[in-house]
Structure 1
Amino acid sequence: MDRQPILETERLVLRPLTETDREALHAIASDPAVWEQHPIHDRWRREVFDAFFDTCLASGGALAVLDRRDERMLGMTRFDRFDPDEGGVVEIGWTFLAPRCWGKGYNPEMKRAMLAHAFASVALVEFRVGDTNYRSRNALEAIGAQRTTRYELEKYQGKRVIHLVYEIDREAFTGGPLG
């Protein structure tokens, strides 16, 4: 599966993340509101953002999200963990968008393109989201992703962080709100 495709929608272009995107993305990420419900709530801080950006860049699956009309940076997303076995599974996540994009259908438009691309190669897409990140949880449920009984535990700044696992399969995507 190509984890760094160029995807175009009516309003968006998703293209591979490059080092030259760092400053434009930091300008968006430096707004604490972007991270207020996220388990890594201080990603607006430069050093925390830079570590996140470096990880995304090294992942081989990160995508910059741009406005199709003027190529202005809107945010980023990522195809992450990929396992080709048993029909294939890939994780979509690590997404953040500028607050000016919230509630205007950009996330579902982006996820529709990403899911269509993924389901050409895999049978299942997973998402991991912080248990207190209700904005992201609601967004996932709105696109037809279902919460599983699986979760992952991590630590950040000495505190336990719970990530819930959501998923959507090819059939649910085709028959769901984005299909």
Structure 2
Amino acid sequence: MRIPKPRHVAAGLLLGTALTLTACGQEHTGPTAAGPGSPSHSGTPAGPARGNVEPGSHDGAPHYHENNGFKIPKEMSPASEKAARAEAARIEPVLKRLWTAKTWDAESVRTALLKLGYRNEGPDSEQGRGTLFVQAHDPDSNPGTSIALNVRHDACVTGFVQSTNYQVTVNGRFLESGCFEPRGGH
């Protein structure tokens, strides 16, 4: 009995791998040694298999919610959402006025919103209309200020005023960062 040399085994494996990979991704419709070919399909091909796609994952990434759970706000109760929407309706005209006046520095924004009766940054309280947090944008980004108002234990009003535009939204709290959307993961 003859034992193959390691070089011959390696060459055979390499050749087999190369032949297998050159056919990768090709659809064979003709007859093969195993039997008759499958019927021809008309129309557009279905494309690659989607794999483990998670529903609601934006781009189809299989672990989107696992990897980005910290960016997904918690649910608000209906009463809290209603209260947050009422506060958003009060805040929106103030941010619009500031934007029109080209005033988006943090202190001016804070002063204007505190006139609505909000508490300045501090522990949450059921007293008053909510607790206000104001942050100037990073110096390397669009000049402006972001705001967050804790309306209740599960509801927030967030917004910004900056040189290009302003916006006010209502959302639940983020697990790790309160009302402001977290910028990065762990």
Q: Which has the higher strand share?
A: 1
> Which has more helix, going by share of residues?
1
TM-score, normalising length: structure 1: 0.24
TM-score (norm 2): 0.23
In terms of Rg, which structure is larger? 2
